[in-house]
């Protein structure tokens, strides 16, 4: 038996909070599958993702197949003091002796970017990333990603992200992560 061909990306579109909420089960399935997490992780993440939609500057981009199946998702919002990720990164920068500088001022937090494994390697992630960051609020963008040579790493480097914090362990996750950042806006392609 041969594997099914990867889904073709028919369109990339911005989603409203209501549209994202309606597609939340699909989005979480992509997340769990792409990250290799246990299925129960989706139930744990659903309330958090729903709460993120209420944050200032929230934007979401989806990639869809010809059959209107969600095959990729990316979202983010303005990072701010008091938010869990912001405080974790601040703590990491302070404990590493790194200069915080203005990294944690006026930034868009790229919270999630995932493409179903069947569609990876076809440029869908970069298309989502570019559309998400085009017009994103803030004068820079920050993200965290597990350390290691992955497609995500290659994408972020290709788009100009640089190291902000390396080999950081977020509370509750034993894996080392990198925090990467770059200025906005992105250059035209």
| Of 112, 132, 106, 117, the residue nearest 186 (C-alpha) | 132
Q: What is the pLDDT of residue 99?
A: 73
Which residues are marked as active site?
156
Tokens of 75: 């979202």
Q: What is the pLDDT of residue 187?
A: 84
Q: What is the pLDDT of residue 21?
A: 97
Long-range contacts, 4-9 (Cβ 8 Å, 24+): 4/118, 6/118, 6/119, 6/120, 6/121, 6/122, 7/65, 7/66, 7/69, 7/71, 7/116, 7/118, 7/119, 8/65, 8/66, 9/63, 9/64, 9/65, 9/71, 9/72, 9/119, 9/122, 9/124, 9/127
Residue 161 pLDDT greater than 70, yes or no: yes
Strongest mean pLDDT among 5-9, 53-57, 120-124:
53-57
Put simply, whether the predicted model's pTM sits higher than 0.95 gets the answer no
Q: What is the pLDDT of residue 1?
A: 52
| Of 75, 80, 85, 76, the residue nearest 109 (C-alpha) | 76
The dotted CATH code for 9-183 is: 3.40.630.30
Domain-by-domain residue ranges, the chain?
Answer: 9-183
Q: What is the pLDDT of residue 165?
A: 95
Distances (CA, A) of 155 to 80, 118, 126, 132, 170: 25, 17, 7, 14, 22
Round the average pLDDT of the chain to a whole number and report it: 93
Q: Which residues of 69-78 are buried (b: 16+ CB within 10 A; e: fewer)?
A: ebbbbbbbbb
Residues 71-113: tens digit of each pLDDT:
999 999 999 999 999 999 999 999 988 777 789 999 999 999 9
Rg (CA), the chain: 16
- At 120, give phi and psi (nearest 5°): -70, 150
Q: What is the pLDDT of residue 5?
A: 58
Residues 109-156: tens digit of each pLDDT:
999 999 999 999 999 999 999 999 998 999 999 999 999 889 999 999
């Amino acid at each position: 038996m041969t594997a099914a061909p990867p889904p073709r990306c028919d369109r990339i579109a911005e989603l409203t909070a209501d549209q994202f909420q309606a597609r939340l089960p699909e989005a979480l399935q992509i997340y769990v599958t792409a990250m290799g997490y246990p299925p129960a992780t989706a139930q744990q993440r659903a309330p958090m993702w729903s709460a993120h939609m209420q944050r200032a500057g929230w934007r979401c981009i989806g990639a869809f197949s010809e059959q209107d199946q969600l095959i990729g998702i990316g979202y983010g919002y303005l990072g701010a003091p008091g938010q869990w990720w912001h405080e974790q990164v601040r703590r990491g920068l302070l404990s590493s002796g790194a200069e915080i500088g203005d990294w944690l001022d006026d930034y868009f937090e790229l919270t999630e970017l995932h493409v179903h494994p069947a569609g990876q390697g076809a440029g869908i992630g970069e298309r989502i990333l570019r559309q998400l960051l085009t017009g994103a609020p803030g004068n820079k963008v920050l993200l965290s990603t597990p350390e290691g040579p992955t497609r995500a790493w290659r994408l972020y480097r290709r788009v100009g992200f640089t190291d902000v914090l390396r080999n950081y362990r977020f509370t509750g996750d034993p894996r080392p992560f990198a925090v990467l950042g770059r200025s906005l806006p992105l250059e035209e392609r």
